Amino acid sequence: MSVLIQQRYRIKAVIHQGLLNSVYLGQDEKEGIEVAIKKLSLTNTQNFAEAILRYKQEAEIIKCLEHPNILKLYDLVEERQEVFLIMEYFPGKNLKQAAGDYTYKEKLIIAKKLSETLSYIHAQHIIHRDLKAHNILISGGNNPEVKIIDFGLAFFIDVEKKLQINCSVGSFTYIAPEQTGLFQRGVDHRSDLYSFGVTLYEFFTGQLPFEGKDIGEIIHKHLAAQPKPPQELNGEISGSLGRVILKLLRKEPDERYQNARLLARDLEKVWLFPEDQTFSLAQEEERAQINYQTKLVGRNKELAFLALTKHLSQSEAAQYLIVRGESGAGKSKLIQVFKESAAVEKTDFFEYKCAETEKNLPFAPFMALIKHFVARNLLKSDFIEVLNTEERDILSQAFPSLKDIFLESNQPWATLPKQQKSLLFDGVVKIFQKISESRDEMLLVFFDDIHWLDMESLQLLLHLSAHFRLKGFYWLGAIREEDQQNLMYQSLAKNSRNFKILELSPLSEEEMLLFMQRMLGQILEWPLDILRDCYQKTLGKPLNIQELLKQLSDQRIITHSESQWKLLPERWSSFIYSLDASQMLFSRLSFFEPEERQLLALAAIIGTDFNLVLLQQLFVEQAKEDQNGLSALWGIEKIVKMIDKGKEQHLIKVNLSQGRGFYSFVHDRIKDVLLKEFSKRERSKLHLICARTIETVYKNQLEDKVYPLAYHYNQTDQIQKKVFYNTKAYERALTLFSLSESVYYMKKLAHIYLERKGISHSQARLFVTLTRNMHIIGEIQESFHFLKGGLEKIQGRGWFEEELLLNYQLGNTFYFLYDLDNAQQCYENALSLSGKLEGTTYIPYIYQALGTVEFFRYHLDEAILLFDRVIETALQENLQELLPNYGYRMWSYLNQGEFEKAKIDCEYLESTLSWADNPLILAQIYQQISVYYSFTSQNPKKAIRYTELSQELSRKADNQLYLYGSFFGRLPALLAERRYSEGLQEAKDITQMLEKSQIRIGHELIYAYLAECYLGCGYFEKANEIALSFLEKENCHLGAYLILLKVRALYLYADSKWEQCRRVIGQGRKLSGAKGIDFLGMFFREMSAWLFEKTGDKEEAQKERESTRELLTRKKGLVSLLRQSEQEIWFAEKELRQRQLSENYVVTASMIKENLRTENI
């Protein structure tokens, strides 16, 4: 063969041809010498520019090196999108092939020579990254010539890509644990030393320290297994050489040799003194830098708990665990360390860091997880058999990486039904089950910073925890202690055996000292007053402690000289330490040149996560805009330099979950601080450049870039683009049943429309859809702005249908905020507008709304009439959406004490459960039926089960309104079951949620149930406190008011305050009688009779009982309430007697004491 490269280098023959590269014998026709030509097969093509640049930077240094043991690199050539390395031709064997040619003593000399070469290379700040026997060439006899080859080629080869292309097992037998990409650790010169340890092990023993049948097993052993001492495999090897090799193979970089110079010195000792088995290794080891990757301290209990939960996930069922702590407490670090310890067993790891910029991107972490499954070949076409066609279609919409797999199945496609979020969730559960059943190794998934988790991912996670229980799955999450979602997780942890929360506390003062010693690599004496001051400044948080040491070093309070760190106490008084994140970041940014800060700020424009390709293109486009003539090559050089400095200053880290060339700011605040580098106008301009750059770079993948494009255009004045991409974003979100995210983008559109002079029909309809969805996700108050604005835009235009719908939605807003008068006015406006339209489509829904207003006013007869009219329409037109009117009517009957009528409606509703298929309607029906079984005490257990089903459907649909409603059946059911403690805790959780919620309709009922729970637990004072706080309010919900009057009456009864109790009972009887609320009136009747008996007025007591009997003849269902009332009053009677007994004891004790005193006198 004869191929000429760049008119200079001619390929003459093949020396080696492999999967990742090929080597040829060549001729440099200009110089007239033989050369070796290596053609690279690039697997890291996505970030080719960065790989080329980084390699060129090192190659320029290597070309200038004059070392006999380094293969000379002459040139790097790019031609026809191929890369060729032109190198010195050295016709030797590789170290593996030549191992049998040398004696033990000669091998020691070779090992020492190689270690000295590594020391020389590392001193030039070069890391090989792919050191192995095949990359060491050797030629000659007693004093052989050795050459290390292929420096820096790892830049072009991505480990993940190696896995995907089924690279040979041999490629993984030499890599250091930190090179596997499974841990958040950087690669440095100590990684080369690990690889060199593997190479020496093989060179001296003829065997590799870790072997396995596949790549996964090899990687696992690098992470977890301990090699046999080499002297056990070869009797010639001395114990001291064995110790040297094993030190090189330590899993922790800190425990290996810290430089090759000391390794060479120890190998010389092994050669000179073969009998000395006791000399200390790596003497004079020094560390001149603070080690930010040091081991954890003070977390043994937490690590043990994580390990125990992992054991449960393997032996019992899937486990879900959240690590919760304040910012800087070390949550992520704890899980990273646990991951490393978990590698003792074969485990597949997946990690995802949630970001603020992705909180409106539906299913972001699960998209990455599914992509991970596909990349690892864990999802195959035969998995399709476990999914029905609807599930398959909806999964392919949510997770595009599944489309190719699904297409392989050749099965027919189905039309997606509406309201099928549950199909998506169930399909994901089936995928997880199939994966778990088809493999032996466990799956450990870690979502970091889940306070930024999008709502859809949160719901899917909750669904998984409830329905995916197969062994071998362990999910971990980290969340800030102050995040509001904690309440939801806390509630879940209480009610689920496989969902747990691990609290992370600050370190103690002693633990802080140990942590600082490990970071410095030595024991440093700290005066007690300074140590305590350090603890007060850092609050025992590991992140703060790291920052403290960094600032101490920067301000020269601690210094490094003569291989030792020293503290200068006399400078302590001048030490300025700030915990303020902005100040800390500004101090780090001071190390950057203005040009570098500008590049950092450009990265911040992209977001918390960025990739080098996009950043480079953004730089080029900005340069064009500014007409500064800077070249793209200059840009990539500056960008790489900036990224490396950012990593050194702990501002930037490699985003391993995305792959090579992807980076993240280590904290969201960094992005915010950097953006201040630009004025608002400059930021807008840069976001526009960024958006256009994305459109250019990803022109064939724009569907996948809808969300970032909407984000960037929203920061600009490009109205048409904003409308286009926000429309695309909300439509895509809706196809994924992602209401929260769709609302976010619809609000952006609505703001644009409100600024216009006029709007179209379709734009007016958007206000209706937007506000309906805002109600569903609980954004009630904010919807006023859009409803009133929308009505103003269409006023007087004769758009009666849109005006009707907006009035109806405005009425709903007032209703949810418990403003019943304004709600009724809006509904009546809508009813009036319906007369101007053809047909009666909207009338039943307006009557339903008016009926609920009357119900909550306790105008029960009027409410029943309205519900009757709606039910008549439902029967005629078979409208499933109107079924809940049976439930509203049933509630009205219950309050009137008409239990038999209520039972008929309840039985009918239960019959619809077999055929109703709208999940939102089913959620309502379950909740409504649960109220019947709770209030009548007929079957509280069924009531609880129905509320659980209602909650599950509501959560799947992301419907906060129905989720809120489900509690109205559950708490009374717990009270009916006398599970007061459980009810108390649940009521507390719900009231905390209500404080953050905008829903006000009926919320006082929750507090009334809370007071009843306190009463049931014997906390009479606390129950009375809640009762008084609400009884003093105006316009309190009447049902809640009557329950709280009951609580107040029971408290007064137990406290022997008969007259006050009688007045409260009278008030309750009057109110319940006036409104016909016999359901609650029964208690006041029975309580009145008890009180008359207690005060000796048996005649009045008899009259009350006769009145009650007469009522029971008309409303027999109230008998159960009479029994319930008797039990409640008897409970108060027991409290009364206990108090009287206590008072008698105090009086008796006082009399005895007085008698004794008198006798002593």
Residue 561's pLDDT is what?
Answer: 81
The residue-averaged pLDDT of 930-948 equals 91
Distance between alpha carbon 1109 and the CA centroid of its chain, in Å?
Answer: 59
Q: How confident is the model at residue 320 (pLDDT cuts 50, 70, 90)?
A: very high
SS3 93: strand
Q: What is the CATH number of the domain that holds 99?
A: 1.10.510.10
**Helices and strands per DSSP (H, E), number in the chain:** 47, 19
**685 lies in the same domain as 555:** no
Query: Are residues 301 and 529 in contact, defined by beta-carbon separation less than 8 angstroms?
Result: no
How confident is the model over 1107-1120, as pLDDT tens digits? 888 888 888 888 88
Q: What is the mean pLDDT of residues 218-234?
A: 87
| Sign of the four-CA dihedral 930, 934, 935, 937 | positive
Between CA 249 and CA 241 the distance in angstroms is 13
Q: Are residues 307 and 216 in the same domain?
A: no
pLDDT at 1023 over 50: yes
Q: Residue 600 domain-assigned?
A: yes
Q: Name every residue whose Cβ is closer than 8 Å to that of residue 534 and which is 6 or more positions away in sequence.
A: 512, 516, 526, 545, 548
Residue where a domain terminates, one of 480, 495, 522: 480
CB 257 within 8 A of CB 194: no
pLDDT of residue 484: 53
Q: Which of 338-342, 396-400, 647-651 has the lowest mean pLDDT?
A: 396-400
Please write the tens of the pLDDT for every residue from 686-734. 999 999 988 988 888 888 889 999 999 999 999 999 999 999 999 988 8
In a domain, 566, yes or no: yes
Residue-level length of the chain: 1161
Per-residue pLDDT, 657: 59
Beta partners for residue 24, in sequence order:
14, 37
Task: Tell me the pLDDT tens digit for each residue of 516-540.
Answer: 998 888 888 899 999 999 999 999 9
CB atoms near residue 381 (< 10 Å):
14
In this predicted structure, what is the pLDDT of residue 401?
Answer: 64
Question: Per-residue pLDDT tens for 882-907?
Answer: 899 999 999 999 999 999 999 999 99
**Tens-digit pLDDT profile for residues 615-650:** 887 887 777 776 654 444 455 677 878 888 888 777
Which stretch of DSSP H or E encloses residue 107?
helix 104-123
Distance CA 236, CA 214 (A): 31
Please tell me the predicted confidence (pLDDT) of residue 1088: 92
pLDDT score recorded for residue 860: 94
User: Token pair for residue 1138?
Assistant: 């206990």
Region of poorest pLDDT, from 134-148, 273-287, 595-609: 273-287
**Residue 162 one-letter amino acid:** K
Pair 653, 678 in one domain: yes
| Same domain as 257, residue 237 | yes
Residue 403 counted as domain residue: yes
Tens of pLDDT, residue by residue over 973-1016, are 899 888 999 889 888 877 777 766 678 888 888 899 999 999 99
Alpha carbon distance, N-terminus to C-terminus of the chain: 128
Residue 206's pLDDT is what?
93
Q: Where are any strands of DSSP class E within 547-651?
A: 558-561, 564-567, 609-611
* pLDDT tens-place string over residues 475-507: 999 988 766 555 566 666 666 778 889 999 999
CB 362 within 8 A of CB 736: yes
In our burial notation (b when 16+ CB lie closer than 10 A, e otherwise), range 401-424 reads: bbeebbeeeeeeeeeeeebbbbbb
Claim to verify: residue 1080 and residue 1112 sit in the same structural domain: yes
Burial of 347 (0-12, 13-18, 19+ CB in 10 A): buried
Q: Residues 835-849: what's their mean pLDDT?
A: 89
Q: Which two tokens stand for residue 411?
A: 């099965």
Q: Can you tell me the distance from the alpha carbon of 905 to that of 151, in angstroms, rounded to the nearest whole number?
A: 80
Residue 1025's SS3 state is helix
Q: What are the Cα distances from residue 121, in Å, to 61, 66, 111, 462, 847?
A: 10, 11, 15, 52, 83
Q: How confident is the model at residue 20 (pLDDT cuts 50, 70, 90)?
A: low
Query: What does the alpha-carbon distance between residue 164 and residue 215 come to, in Å, rounded to a whole number?
Result: 11
Q: Kindly tell me if the per-residue pLDDT of 926 is higher than 90.
A: yes
Domain membership flag for residue 673: yes
**Domain check: are 376 and 238 in the same one?**
no
Q: Which is more confident, 1147 or 91? A: 91
Angle at 1151 between CA 1148 and CA 1155, to 5 degrees: 140
For residue 1127, the enclosing domain spans 1030-1143
With a cut of 70, say whether residue 757 has pLDDT above it.
yes
Last residue of a domain, one of 272, 291, 318: 272
- The answer on pLDDT for 81 being more than 80 is no
- Does a structural domain hold residue 341? no
Given this model, what pLDDT does residue 454 score?
81
Q: Picking from 382-386, 798-802, 978-982, 1097-1101, which range would have the lowest pLDDT averaged per residue?
A: 382-386
> Is residue 465 within 8 Å of 500, Cβ to Cβ?
no
Name the phi and psi angles at 719, rounded to 5: -60, -45
Higher-pLDDT residue of 742 and 160 is 742
**How much is the pLDDT for 207?**
94
What's the pLDDT score for residue 442?
A: 84
Instruction: Give 230's pLDDT tier (boundaries 50, 70, 90).
Output: very high
Q: How much is the pLDDT for 767? A: 96
pTM, to two decimals: 0.71
- Please state, in angstroms and rounded to a whole number, the distance separating the CA atoms of residues 702 and 697: 9
Q: Is 251 left (phi over 0), alpha (psi -120 to 50) or beta?
A: alpha
Is 41's pLDDT higher than 70? Answer: no
Q: What is the pLDDT of residues 260-312, one digit of tens each?
A: 999 999 999 998 887 777 777 876 655 567 777 777 889 999 999 999 999 99
Pairwise CA distance, residues 114 & 107, whole Å:
10
Structure letter (DSSP) for residue 70? B
Q: Determine the Cα–Cα distance for residues 314 and 471; give it in Å rounded to an integer.
A: 5
In terms of domains, do 575 and 588 share one?
no
**Number of compact structural domains in the chain:** 5
Write a three-state SS string for 744-773: HHHHHHHHHHHCCCCCCHHHHHHHHHHHHH
How remote is the C-alpha of 807 from its chain's centroid?
38
Amino acid 908: pLDDT: 95
Is residue 46 pLDDT above 60, yes or no?
no
User: Are 615 and 677 in the same domain?
Assistant: yes
Going by pLDDT thresholds of 50, 70 and 90, the confidence category of residue 415 is very low
Shared domain for 573 and 592, answered yes or no, is no
CA atoms within 13 A on the CB side of 114: 28
* Claim to verify: residue 389 and residue 422 sit in the same structural domain: yes
Among 579, 609, 636, the domain-final residue is 579
Q: What is the 3-state secondary structure (H, E, C) of 254-321?
A: HHCCCCHHHHHHHHHHHHHCCCCCCCCCCCCCCCCCCCCCCCCCCCHHHHHHHHHHHHHHHHCCCEEE
The pLDDT value given to residue 665: 83
**Tokens at residue 7, please?**
């008119």
Judge if 529 and 408 occupy the same domain.
no
Closest-CA residue to 126 (of 111, 142, 148, 109): 148
Q: SS3 of 498, please?
A: coil
Bridge partners (DSSP) of residue 94 are 137
- Assigned token pair, 997: 């919620």
Q: Could you tell me if residue 1101 is inside a domain?
A: yes
> What is the arithmetic mean of pLDDT over 1066-1085?
91
Of the CA atoms within 13 Å of residue 729, those in its CB half-sphere come to 30
Give CA–CA dist 808/829, Å, rounded. 8
Inter-CA distances, 17 with 79, 189, 192, 561, 873, Å: 19, 29, 25, 51, 79
Neighbour count for residue 712 (Cβ, 10 Å): 28
> Do residues 339 and 371 lie in contact, with contact meaning Cβ atoms separated by under 8 Å?
no
- Return the pLDDT at 418: 42
Q: Mean pLDDT lowest for which of 99-103, 441-445, 784-788?
A: 441-445
Contact 3, 11 (CB under 8 A): yes
CA 223-448-581 angle, 5° bins: 115
Whole-number Cα distances in Å, 721 to 550, 681, 710, 713, 728:
45, 18, 8, 7, 10
DSSP string, 848-861: HHHHHHHHHTT-HH
pLDDT for res 75: 86
- Rounded to the nearest 10°, the torsion over CA 775, 776, 777, 783 is -20
- Does residue 598 share a domain with residue 676? yes
Per the CB < 8 A criterion, the answer to whether 1053 and 1091 are in contact is: yes
- Count the Cβ atoms, other than its own, within 10 Å of residue 585: 21
Dihedral angle sign, alpha carbons of residues 720, 723, 729, 735: negative
Extract the runs of DSSP E, i.e. beta strands, from 29-181.
33-40, 73-79, 82-88, 93-94, 136-139, 145-148
Tell me, yes or no, whether 176 lies in a domain. Answer: yes
Whether 745 is covered by a domain: the verdict is no
